[in-house]
Amino acid sequence: MRRAKDIQEKLTYALEEYKELQKKVSDAQKNDTSIRFIGQKVGSILSACHECFDYCANDIVDTFVIGYTTKQNFINQHRKGKLRVHFPYNSVPLTNNGNSLSELKTTKKELYDYLDNLIKKFENKDVIPNTIISYYTALELNNIVNSKKHTEITEINERKNSATRISFPNGGEVTVSPMFNVNDGMPNFSADMDASPFSGQDDVNIEYVKEFKITFNNWEVTRFCMHSIQATFQIFSDIYYSFYNIY
């Protein structure tokens, strides 16, 4: 439970960085310019979200495994600070007896079942209740930030004419992404689509601008960053509320 504050701070940091990135993207679209170090900026946001998952996994082991398990090797490794714990994105950490999280089956069965069900939501790409965000975002986030994917996280494509920028006479501006096709209840945000055409009055300026897309999954950078932040927040809000009584 002691890492709950760390998770909150990580997500606060990610949200502030996201807002800064959003502004830079808007300015770059308006002026048709590039963004220096955009890949690193995206990587910083996604890495902050990803770290929350391992923070939570370590809290789970500290609270519900150590002190209850009969496996002395886990206890000894934990005491020495050498127990490796990672969030279960698939069933292996829960079913492999060599992983400390598998101990939840006997030390905290309701949490074991909860995580097992969460993994199924990841795999089935279920939508998080009251959002348009998929649980699968957690898997995608892990795949991108995973050490084997570090070359991907900094690669960003610039795609021309991917969004519609509308400027109103009162100074208001809005950038509209194209209408994505819906697959299994979710828009296909990775699709490569041209900007949606708009028509307006003479005093409304309409132009077609570029988007910055993550090479790994072809998502627009600010959209995937926001989905990652929100998915992380929703998942851990539920875990800490359900098992730590933190609101």
Q: In this predicted structure, what is the pLDDT of residue 153?
A: 60
Q: Read off the pLDDT of each residue in 56-83 and give the average, rounded to a whole number.
A: 94
The answer for residues whose C-beta is within 8 angstroms of residue 48's C-beta and 6 or more apart is 10, 11, 13, 14, 17
| Bridge partner residues of 213 (DSSP) | 157, 220
Q: Nearest-CA neighbor of 134 among 183, 186, 191?
A: 186
Domain that holds residue 35: 4-155+217-244
Instruction: Answer yes or no: is 194 within a domain.
Output: no
Q: What pLDDT, on the 0 to 100 scale, is given for residue 13?
A: 98
Q: Does the pLDDT of residue 237 top 80, yes or no?
A: yes
Beta-bridged to residue 156, according to DSSP, are 214
- Residue 27 pLDDT: 94
pLDDT digits 0-9 by tens, 200-234: 677 888 899 999 999 999 999 999 999 999 999 99
Position 169 confidence tier, pLDDT thresholds 50, 70, 90: confident
Q: Quick check: 178 pLDDT over 90?
A: no
Q: Per the domain annotation, does 70 fall within a domain?
A: yes
Residue 197 included in any domain: no
Q: What is the rounded CA–CA span in Å between residue 145 and residue 135?
A: 16
User: Which has more pLDDT, 57 or 185?
Assistant: 57
Domain assignment present for residue 162? The answer is: no
Stated pTM of the model: 0.91
The confidence score (pLDDT) of residue 154 equals 67
Indicate the range of 21-25, 49-53, 118-122, 177-181 predicted with least confidence: 177-181
Which residues neighbour 80 within 8 Å (Cβ) at sequence distance 6 or greater?
none
Query: Is the residue at 163 inside a domain?
Result: no
**DSSP code for 184:** T
pLDDT (tens digit per residue) in 1-13: 679 999 999 999 9
Q: Is residue 231 situated within a structural domain?
A: yes
- With a cut of 60, say whether residue 189 has pLDDT above it: yes
Single-letter amino acid, residue 58:
N
Of 112 and 169, the one with more pLDDT: 112
Structure tokens at 11: 């997500």
In a domain, 183, yes or no: no
The domain tally of the chain equals 1
| 148 has pLDDT over 60 | no
pLDDT category of residue 87 using cuts at 50, 70 and 90: very high
Mean pLDDT of 77-102: 94
149: pLDDT strictly greater than 60: no
Rounded distance between C-alpha atoms, residue 16 and residue 223, angstroms:
15
49 domain-assigned: yes
